[in-house]
Structure 1
Amino acid sequence: MRIGILGLGRIGAFHAETLSGLDAVGSLVVADPSADAARAAAGRFGAEVAASPEALLAAGVDGVVIAAATDAHPGLILAAVEAGVPVFCEKPVARTMAEGVAVLDAVADRDVPVQIGYNRRFDAGFAAARAAVRAGELGILHTVRSTTLDPAPPPAAYVAASGGIFRDCSVHDFDAIRWVTGREVREVYAVGGNRGAGFIREAGDADTTGAVLTLDDGTIAMVSSSRHNARGYDVRMEIHGFADSLAVGLDDRLPLRSAEPGATFPAGVPHDFFMDRFAAAYRAELAAFTEVVAGKRPSPCTIEDALEAGWTAEACALSLREHRPVTVAEVRRG
């Protein structure tokens, strides 16, 4: 099949490399505001260059991957759907929830699949945890702990435009909690601190946060996020039930050292970046998209799914600002 890629920055170029290695993908068409980026991708992957998103959509592509800047997501999603081309779009759907809801409303009656990029749904560990929960192996759940710790902050310009740590970082935890447990978030209480990079504080954001989520069945989920983890990129989840407990991310590349005398775990080189930690998940995610394009499966992460994680992020941001518990229903109304 013929796949288009809109946006060839860090993640777009990574997706181009991944797609070029998939058996289902025969050719790539790329477009980027930077002519140099487009030419580089063409030279590296044998891709055809389109002069604009409109030209790319008119170039006979079977599906399109959107890896452009967040502000461009709504317009590009709508253009692809209007052209009848299945869409994979990196999260978020839009910069604001209002814009995201508008996109959902605009495509609701169109028979064109849209997949939003939440890669943890395609990680082997997270998938195994979901299967165990759904099979009842853990019994009734009582506690979930989810962690995302970056090795270093992203650039100041990214932080200023990201919408905040809950919306661009912890939102992955929120989606994974919902996906693994099969439950919805009812209420949140969030805290945050700034003891690191000054530009994060200047942007009105926190560099380290914690959030307690109450799920709709009473399960308690705790989410810990930080822009500063000197040892590496740390993504984990623990799920505790009355019958059993299990963890995701406890392998030899866990970026943590033990204080226990004689302990040798973890013994490997720590994960240092999200592309390293989730390389296999990204490949599985884009392979799933080729199946969506081929009509072999429905979207594994819909716009509705992405918005649910977004509402939790909105509730956490409000909770942090106002130092109080916030229900997800409250931000939906707002």
Structure 2
Amino acid sequence: MRIGILGLGRIGAFHAETLAGLDAVESLIVSDPAAGRARAAADRFGALVADSPEALLAAGVDGLVVAAATDAHPALIRAGVAAGVPVFCEKPVARTMAEGMEVLKAVAGRDVPVQIGFNRRFDAGFGAARAAVRAGALGPLHTVRSTTLDPAPPPAAYVAASGGIFRDCSVHDFDMIRWVTGREVMEVYASGGNRGAAYIRDHGDADTAGALLTLDDGTLAVVSNSRYNGRGHDVRMELLGFADSLAVGLDDRLPLRSAEPGVTFPAGVPHDFFLDRFAAAYRAELTAFTEVVAGSRPSPCTVEDALAAGWIAEACTLSLREHRPVPVAEVRRA
């Protein structure tokens, strides 16, 4: 199959490399507003270059990968669906939830699958945790702890366009809480602080944040996020049940030291970047997309799935601003 890639920045170039190594992918065609980036990718992977999204779609592709700037996501998703081409789009669906809902309306009822890029759904540890919860191996859950800690903050320009830590970072935790537990979030209470770069505070954002979520069966989920985790990139989930407990990310590359005498775990080099931590998950995610393109599986992360996590982020953003609990139903629109 031929796959088109729109956007050849950091994640787009990474996806191009991954796709070029998949057996199901026979060729790539790429496009980026920065012609040099498209040409560099084409030279590296033997891809063709299109000078616009329209030209790329007109050239004929079996599947479309959207890794362009967030503002471009809605139009590019619509263009792919209108052309009858299955679309993979990096999260988020759109900059705002209102725009995301418009995308949902545009693709609803169309026989063209759209997959949104929440890569943790393809991580082996998270998958095993989901299977254990769904099999009842932990008994009823009472507490979930989900953590995403970055080693350093993103640049000021990225923060300015990100929508805030809950929409940009915590949303992965929110998606995993829903996906692993099979439950919905009913209410949130969020807090945050700033002890780092002034530009994060200046954009009305927090560099460290936490949220307490109440799920629809009464389970409590605690989410912890920071732009400053000096030891490395720390992504974990702990699932505590009445019968057993289970952790994701508890391996030798965990960026955490033990204070207990004689304890040598974790013994490996800490993860230092999300592309390092989730390299295998990204490959599995794009392999799944080739199966979506081939028609052998439905989308494993739909626009509706992505927006469900987005509404939790919206509720947390409001909670942080107004210092109060916020029911997700208060912000969610049909």
TM over 0.5: yes
Deviations 1:28-52 (A, max 9, x none): 0000000100000000000000010
Q: Which residue of 2 aligns with 1:204?
A: 204
What percentage of aligned pairs have identical amino acids? 85
* Partner SS state of residue 240, structure 1: strand
Aligned counterparts, 1:38-117, within 5 A? 38-117=38-117
> Which residue identity lines up with residue 288 of structure 1 in the other structure?
A
* Partner SS state of residue 4, structure 2: strand
| C-alpha distance in 1 between matches for 2:155 and 2:257 | 27
Deviations 1:132-163 (A, max 9, x none): 00001001010000000000000000001100
Unpaired stretches in structure 2, ≥5 consecutive residues = none
| C-alpha distance in 1 between matches for 2:31 and 2:147 | 35
Deviation of 1:332 after TM superposition, in Å, equals 1.1
Q: Which residue of 2 aligns with 1:247?
A: 247
> Which residue identity lines up with residue 302 of structure 2 in the other structure?
T
Are 2:160 and 1:180 equivalent residues in the alignment? no
| C-alpha distance in 1 between matches for 2:293 and 2:45 | 21
- For this pair of structures, how many residues does the alignment match? 334
Deviation of 1:333 after TM superposition, in Å, equals 4.4
| C-alpha distance in 2 between matches for 1:10 and 1:297 | 28
| Runs of 4 or more consecutive aligned structure 1 residues displaced over 4 Å after TM superposition | none
Q: Which residue of 2 aligns with 1:220?
A: 220
Structure 1 stretch displaced more, 324-333 or 2-11: 324-333
CA RMSD of aligned residues (A): 0.7
Deviation of 1:109 after TM superposition, in Å, equals 1.7
Q: Which residue of 2 aligns with 1:22?
A: 22
Deviations 1:5-47 (A, max 9, x none): 0000000000000000000000000000001000000000000
| C-alpha distance in 2 between matches for 1:18 and 1:230 | 29
Q: Normalising to structure 1: TM-score of the pair?
A: 0.99
Deviation of 1:297 after TM superposition, in Å, equals 0.2
Q: Which residue of 1 aligns with 2:289?
A: 289
Q: Normalising to structure 2: TM-score of the pair?
A: 0.99
Q: Which residue of 1 aligns with 2:273?
A: 273
Are 2:313 and 1:313 equivalent residues in the alignment? yes
> Which residue identity lines up with residue 105 of structure 1 in the other structure?
K
> Which residue identity lines up with residue 142 of structure 1 in the other structure?
H
